[in-house]
């Protein structure tokens, strides 16, 4: 017991000054490096903001010709008796492209107020049509085949100013 205690004390005394120095240096280095590593990690978030702004800037020049240059595309599914999605939100003057697909029976896509009427397609078929709303408002789109409209095959087209 006694010999063991003496040896430990000796070892401690010899190593202490060096160990303390080494520990101080290592801790200081780790602290310094940790600060440097953590600080740049916040910068990528700011870098990501830059591309988003760049994209917005690319769109802006085309917006000079009113909003006519804007375009939006929707995939709409028609079945008995529904549209999915049944609410579309667009902007006045925006070119709207709709990829309309029928899953059964025969369907079309009509908006009376905007003179929109797609081809009538059969189940399994699809058609693409475009229109550019020239007025704002909330309009109903519906299927003009048979009694589909009465059976609930309707949706809402919201045209924002
Ligand atoms: Cu229909």
| pLDDT tens-place string over residues 115-129 | 999 999 999 999 999
- Report the separation in Å between the CA atom of 103 and the middle of ligand 1, taken as the mean of its atom positions: 10
Q: Which residues of the chain have pLDDT under 70?
A: 1-69
- Report the separation in Å between the CA atom of 95 and the middle of ligand 1, taken as the mean of its atom positions: 24
- What pLDDT shows up at residue 4? 44
The SS3 of residue 127 is strand
- What pLDDT shows up at residue 18? 59
- Report the separation in Å between the CA atom of 78 and the middle of ligand 1, taken as the mean of its atom positions: 7
The SS3 of residue 124 is coil
- Report the separation in Å between the CA atom of 161 and the middle of ligand 1, taken as the mean of its atom positions: 29
Rounded to whole angstroms, the Cα distance separating 95 from 56 reads 18
| pLDDT tens-place string over residues 83-114 | 999 999 999 999 999 999 999 999 999 999 99
Buried b (16+ CB within 10 A) or exposed e, 60-93: eeeeeeeeeebeeeeebebbbbbbeeeebebbeb
Sequence spans of domains, the chain: 2-61, 67-160
The SS3 of residue 99 is strand
- What pLDDT shows up at residue 140? 98
CATH code for the domain defined by 67-160: 2.60.40.420
The SS3 of residue 93 is coil
- Report the separation in Å between the CA atom of 160 and the middle of ligand 1, taken as the mean of its atom positions: 26
């Amino acid at each position: 017991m006694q010999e063991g205690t003496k040896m430990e004390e000796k070892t401690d005394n010899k190593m202490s000054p060096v160990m303390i120095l080494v520990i101080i240096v290592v801790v200081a280095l780790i602290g310094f490096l940790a600060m440097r590593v953590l600080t740049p990690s916040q910068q990528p978030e700011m870098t990501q903001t830059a591309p988003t702004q760049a994209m917005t800037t690319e769109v802006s020049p085309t917006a000079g010709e009113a909003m006519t240059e804007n375009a939006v595309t929707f995939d709409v599914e028609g079945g008995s008796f529904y549209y999915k999605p049944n609410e579309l939100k667009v902007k006045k003057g925006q070119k709207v492209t709709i990829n309309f697909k029928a899953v059964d029976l025969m369907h079309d896509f009509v908006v009376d107020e905007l003179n929109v009427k797609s081809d009538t397609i059969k189940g399994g078929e699809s058609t693409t049509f475009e229109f550019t709303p020239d007025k704002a408002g909330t309009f109903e789109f519906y299927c003009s085949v048979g009694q589909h409209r009465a059976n609930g095959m309707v949706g809402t087209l919201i045209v924002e100013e």
